[in-house]
Amino acid sequence: MADVQLMGLLNATLQAATLLFIAALGELITEKSGILNLGVEGMISIGAVTGFMTAINTENLFLSIIVGVLSASIFSSIHAFVTVILKQDQTVSGLILTILGLALSSLLGKKYVGKKLMVKIESISDITEPSNVLEVLLNQNFIFYLAILLMITTSFVLKKTMFGRRLEAVGEDSRAADSMGLKINKTQFIATCVGGAFAGLSGVYLTLSYVPYWTDNMTSGRGWICLALVIFGGWKPYRTAIGAVLFGFLEALVPRLQTYGFDLSPYLVKIAPYLITILVLVILTIYKEGKTGAPGNIGRPFFRENR
């Protein structure tokens, strides 16, 4: 029994982690360019609802994923326009993106509440009850593997390519980057839209695989946990992945505690992931004594002074 239960836990951990990780990785890329986007929750929602709507109407999964990713990316361009081009407050703009994204997705998804999805992103094998680690891995769908690929690629791009070095330069010291002739606005705009696309992929993973239906506010704060994950990961893709697995484990463990014989209120147990996120954030901030590895220019708009 223990094996099947343990593997079930591992399986749920990886699924929850995939969802959190992709959006967190997107936010990491955006923040590397010096732009803070607090709209992750809204972007995931937009990706989730548009992907779900497309899947219900066309039953074409590939198209649904593309639509979800693109809509979230286009949606994030609002933030890019307001903060990068118009230099307005990033906190305010990101928050509106969350509020607007949740409202817009509820409006769009109204007719789809309770509808059953005929197609779903299936795992790459047809194992129903994985009994060892290999089977758990085979039980994941292709987005899980895509997430791993994105992690490796992002880390490589950030460290080894010209684009990555430019992104880092823009985010660390945009004034110096500007005098080197780098295009600040263009870099930040692209980074923000890439972040949106990643959040959109998280969104389609949510509605087309993780919980294959649509209800209002179904992101339930995951976007905010992603923001904490970026801090947890110290703006590094691999560490962010470790964080995502840890938080995924929590999300998977909490509903199982009762079956393991812990007598807990199911209502109180739902609070645990948020409580632990806060505690981890606090411990981490104390541990790093403020040296979190955040890009130097994060949150500050860049414009050339009139000399």
Applying CB under 8 A, the residues found at the interface with another protein are 38, 78, 82, 86-89, 91-93, 95-96, 99-100, 103-104, 106-107, 110, 220-221, 224-225, 227-228, 231, 265, 267-268, 270-271, 274-275, 277-278, 281-282, 285-286, 290, 303-306
Closer residue to another protein (CB): 106 or 155:
106
Closer residue to another protein (CB): 21 or 144:
21
Q: Closest distance between another protein and the C-beta of residue 302, in Å?
A: 9
Q: Closest distance between another protein and the C-beta of residue 236, in Å?
A: 18
Q: Closest distance between another protein and the C-beta of residue 266, in Å?
A: 9
Q: Closest distance between another protein and the C-beta of residue 104, in Å?
A: 6
Closer residue to another protein (CB): 259 or 306:
306
Closer residue to another protein (CB): 74 or 146:
74
Closer residue to another protein (CB): 131 or 285:
285
Q: Closest distance between another protein and the C-beta of residue 101, in Å?
A: 9
Q: Closest distance between another protein and the C-beta of residue 190, in Å?
A: 20
3-state SS, the chain, equals CHHHHHHHHHHHHHHHHHHHHHHHHHHHHHHHCCCCCCCHHHHHHHHHHHHHHHHHHHCCHHHHHHHHHHHHHHHHHHHHHHHHHCCCCHHHHHHHHHHHHHHHHHHHHHHHCCCCCCCCCCECCCCCCCCCHHHHHHCCEHHHHHHHHHHHHHHHHHHHCHHHHHHHHHHHCHHHHHHCCCCHHHHHHHHHHHHHHHHHHHHHHHHHHHCCCCCCCCCCCHHHHHHHHHHHCCCCHHHHHHHHHHHHHHHHHHHHCCCCCCCCCHHHHCCHHHHHHHHHHHHHHHHHCCCCCCCCCCCCCCCCCCC
Q: Closest distance between another protein and the C-beta of residue 5, in Å?
A: 26
Closer residue to another protein (CB): 6 or 104:
104
Cα separation, 20 vs 242, in Å, equals 11
Q: Return the ∠ at Cα 226 (arms to 86 and 284), rounded to 5°.
A: 105
Q: Closest distance between another protein and the C-beta of residue 68, in Å?
A: 19
Closer residue to another protein (CB): 7 or 24:
24
Query: How far is the CA of 13 from the CAs of 1, 9, 199, 304, in angstroms?
Result: 18, 6, 19, 46
Closer residue to another protein (CB): 48 or 65:
48
